[in-house]
Chain A
């Protein structure tokens, strides 16, 4: 294989499926109308959006009327957490989440704390799992909202959403799930799961960037205050002109994901297992997160290796590191620190994430490159001073 980039960062974003580009392009040629317009072209846009909602609802096993379009998971998370807590603030001001949530969630909770809400931050066990007993113990009479992610974006760890949601439902607590890494990838049945609010984004499952959705259950006390104002669209929960093409793209991505989910999961598991099998004997490696989590993610720390140098030595592999990896912030991953990893372990972590287009040849190349990079950097490093 030549030195072309090998993309193994599908947890960060996925390429848009060519079928979806074609679908969106064709739609764009058919109508430019605002879906709020009442003329024929506007009604066509409305019908396109309704079709997309049907497709997404089918993926999630829910009803289209329970879906709100947003700009992506960050907005959905913010709308659910800020909007949900504010809506229920007259009942109580205690909210619960985990330290290993995505920044879109943790920063929203930090905002709630600044507004006077009492935030409980829960730690997972060393495998990244939140014990339902720990969760139950954190819930109080004044708890109004809890937010737990479905699949962790760094480790692939999957939480027991059914059990955690059940604990909330028993206590009439709003339960939000950040499903940015789960939607379109693992089965989500909102007819069965006790989830009140669920966030997702299209670009994690081969749809376009800039479009997401928030599911809002239809039950008493389950509502969110809007974050935006200025129109009557989407029941005023999320006003603004709806991006017809992007919504259609999300809907098409949902349709494809529904059809391919089982095959995708088998493929991802095969790629992840091939990767891990290929490097497991390197020595001094630490797999971060439970082994039977979401199969699209493999997170590995390497003792004696500096993370930023490892990332550069791995080129042309395009992977994510355990640190924020920008020139002004190289803090070790707070997610891995919450799992009990040392700074050095977290800093040396590499997240390999696989996708529908990943090939066995790419994984073999990644194995070779990882083994060589770790060996070279270990050889280069001096021992500890006596």
Chain B
């Protein structure tokens, strides 16, 4: 291990992810690539994302990013799932550039979830 690999934000979100888990209703999408297996679930209400949860097998940056994404998307219009970009998360969490691929997997998962809401499962 070289210099401190995790930002304080990553450590905080990794240690206590408030959005970890599944939802019994709504839609879910699962993707697996780039050393990350991720499932996202969401329930909507009045066109907005009411609740969002994730499960992840991956590195601390991936878990922190999934938690941050859930937190950011709750309360947003459902269409925000299709417009989600991981770019801001990379900066927000100080994700090293070599892990860009994993964060893009998260982006794919969010958009996949958006497609399920738009087109059905």
A308: chain B residues within 8 A (beta carbon)? 59-60
One of A65-73, A133-141, A377-385 contacting the partner: A377-385
- The verdict on B69 contacting chain A, using a C-beta distance below 8 Å, is no
Bound form: Cα–Cα A327–B11 in Å: 15
Within 8 A of A (CB), among B54-89: 55-60, 63
Helix, strand, loop or mixed for chain A's interface?
A: loop
Q: Chain A 322-335 against B: per-residue CB contact (8 Å), 1 yes, 0 no? A: 00011110100000
List B residues 3-22 near A (Cβ within 8 Å): 5-6, 11, 14, 17, 20
1/0 per residue B1-42: CB within 8 Å of A? 110011000010010010010000000001010010111000
Contact with B along A234-266 (1 / 0, CB 8 A): 000000000000000000000000000000000
Give CA–CA (A335, B99) in the complex, Å: 24
Instruction: Give the docked Cα–Cα distance between A380 and B54 (Å).
Output: 8
Q: Choose one: B1, B5, B17, B37; the contact of A382 (CB below 8 Å).
A: B37
Contact of B96 among A309, A327, A377 (CB under 8 A): A327
B53 to chain A, nearest CB (A): 11
Q: Are A330 and B6 in contact (CB under 8 A)?
A: no
**CB contact under 8 A between A309 and B1, given known A327-B98, A330-B35, A385-B30:** no
Q: Are B59 and A309 neighbours in the complex by a CB distance under 8 Å?
A: yes
A22 to B38, CA, bound (A): 54
Report how far A202 CA is from B119 CA in the complex, Å: 66
> Are A309 and B63 CB-contacts (below 8 A) given A326-B2, A328-B98, A380-B20?
yes
Query: In A364-386, which residues have CB < 8 Å from any B CB?
Result: 377, 379-382, 384-385
Separation of A327 and B99 alpha carbons in the complex (Å): 8
Please, which residue of chain A has its CB at the minimum distance from the CB of B28?
A: A382
For B17, the chain A residues whose CB sits under 8 A away are 380
- Chain A: interface residue total (CB-CB under 8 A): 18
Assess the B1–A325 pair: CB atoms within 8 A. yes
Q: How far is the CB of A265 from chain B (nearest CB, A)?
A: 29
Q: Are A382 and B55 in contact (CB under 8 A)?
A: yes
Q: How far is the CA of A230 from the CA of B11 in the complex (A)?
A: 50
| Residue A312 lies at the interface, judged by CB distance under 8 Å to chain B | yes
Q: Does A132 contact B (CB under 8 A)?
A: no
Pair A306/B57 contact, Cβ less than 8 Å: yes
B63 with A382: CB separation less than 8 A: no
Within the assembled complex, what's the spacing in Å between the Cα atoms of A377 and B55?
10
> With A and B bound together, what is the CA distance between A313 and B59 in angstroms?
11
CB-CB contacts below 8 Å: A65-105 with B: none
Contact residues of A between 22 and 41, Cβ < 8 Å to B: none
Contact across chains for A312 and B55 when beta carbons are under 8 A apart: no
Q: How far is the CA of A309 from the CA of B60 in the complex (A)?
A: 5
Whether B14 contacts A312 by the Cβ 8 Å rule is yes
Contact assessment for B39 and A306 in the assembled complex, using a CB-CB cutoff below 8 Å? no
A278 at the interface (CB under 8 A from B): no
Residues of A near B57 (CB, < 8 A) are 304, 306, 377, 380-382
Contact A380 B55 (CB under 8 A): yes
A330 contacts which chain B residues (CB < 8 A)?
Answer: 35, 59
Other CB < 8 Å A-B pairs besides A326-B1, A381-B56, 13 of them?
A304-B57, A306-B58, A309-B59, A309-B60, A312-B14, A326-B2, A327-B98, A330-B59, A380-B63, A381-B37, A382-B39, A385-B30, A385-B32
| Smallest CB-CB A-B distances: 4 pairs | A382-B55, A382-B39, A381-B57, A308-B59
| 8 A-B contacts (beta carbon < 8 Å) | A309-B59, A309-B60, A309-B63, A312-B14, A327-B99, A380-B57, A381-B37, A382-B38
